[in-house]
Amino acid sequence: MTEDLAIDVRGLRKAFGDRPVLDGVDLAVRAGTITALLGPNGAGKTTTVGILSTLLRLDSGTARVAGFDVVAQAGAVRAAIGVTGQMSAVDDLLTGVENLRLMASLHHLGRRAGRERADALAAGLGLGDAVRAPVSTWSGGMRRRLDLAMTLVGRPAVVFLDEPTSGLDPRSRRALWDEVRALVARGTTVLLTTQYLEEADRLADRVAVLDRGRIVAEGTPAELKATHDAGSLDDVFLRLTEPPAQEPTDTSTRGSAS
């Protein structure tokens, strides 16, 4: 792997049964940057994150994260990453701070360090007094922020954010963006999947568009808009992921004698 690449994917392929999902994906993410992986539903975004986080096994190709091979060095990859998925992974029976301190304990931070880390993340993500209440009483948006905070407890080198702002109100989404920017400023690498094109435009250093199992475009948001003569990433996305045109049905011989 090139030294300045935190994620290096080459020729990645994955199928479920006879249905190919990834068909030769190449992706390079520089350390200390944010890359947004965009694509329509079913394009393979979550499958890609699953492989890179060692939750799914690739069929062929290679993938390295933080310098480690996701197959041969899966344990080292897991120790170097944090993952926030589309579904919250918090424990409803615990309070917010108990969730954070539990995660700190799993990272062997020690009682005092874990308490300080939990308090800092709770404050940074605006959890407020709710952090002392059972998570079962929280809104969906608050749960998403807690989920992100738990991902960050161990200060991972690479963070995968799989649609992390789904269900968040605009103010909460902006607060999460600020936290992601602060992460990257401290040297963390972020791979983000999102359905919000504005989010990709605002946050990402680079954007990769995945469609029908392949990367069909890659560049900075400005480069993609210039290349496709588009005013927004929404326009770029729609042009690149337009469904293939269906061939017209030939009706010229209908009703003719044989």
91-117 pLDDT tens trace = 888 998 999 988 888 888 888 988 888
Cβ proximity of 113 and 124 under 8 Å: no
Residue with tokens 């792997």: 1
pLDDT band at residue 164 under the 50/70/90 scheme: confident
Report the alpha-carbon distance of residue 183 to residue 155 in Å, rounded: 9
Residue count of the chain: 258
Residue ranges in 86-207 assigned as alpha helix (H): 96-106, 111-124, 140-152, 170-185, 197-203
The DSSP secondary-structure symbol of 44 reads S
The CATH number of the domain covering residues in 5-90+155-240: 3.40.50.300
CA angle at residue 109 from 107 to 148, to 5 degrees? 55
Residue-wise pLDDT for 11-41, tens only, equals: 999 999 989 999 999 999 999 999 999 998 8
What residue spans define the domains of the chain? 5-90+155-240
- Dihedral of the alpha carbons of 117, 120, 122, 128, in degrees to the nearest 10: 140
pLDDT recorded at residue 250: 54
153 contacts 89 by C-beta, under 8 angstroms:
no
Sheet holding 68-69, edge to edge: 19-30, 5-16, 60-65, 68-69
Whether the model clears a pTM of 0.95, i.e. scores above it, the answer is: no
Rounded Cα gap, residues 11 and 214, in angstroms: 10
Residues 6+ apart with CB under 8 A from 206: 29, 30, 33, 34, 35, 36, 218, 219, 220
Confidence label for 1 from pLDDT (cuts 50, 70 and 90): very low
CA distance 62 to 80: 18
Residue 151 near residue 80, CB atoms below 8 Å: no
Q: What's the pLDDT band for 246 if we cut at 50, 70, 90?
A: low
- Greater confidence (258 vs 97) lies with 97
Q: Over the stretch 134-151, which tens digit does the pLDDT of each residue have?
A: 988 888 778 888 888 888
Least confident stretch, 120-129, 144-153, 201-210 = 120-129
Provide the residue type at 133 as one letter.
Answer: A
For residue 234, which of 189, 208, 195 has the smallest C-alpha distance?
195
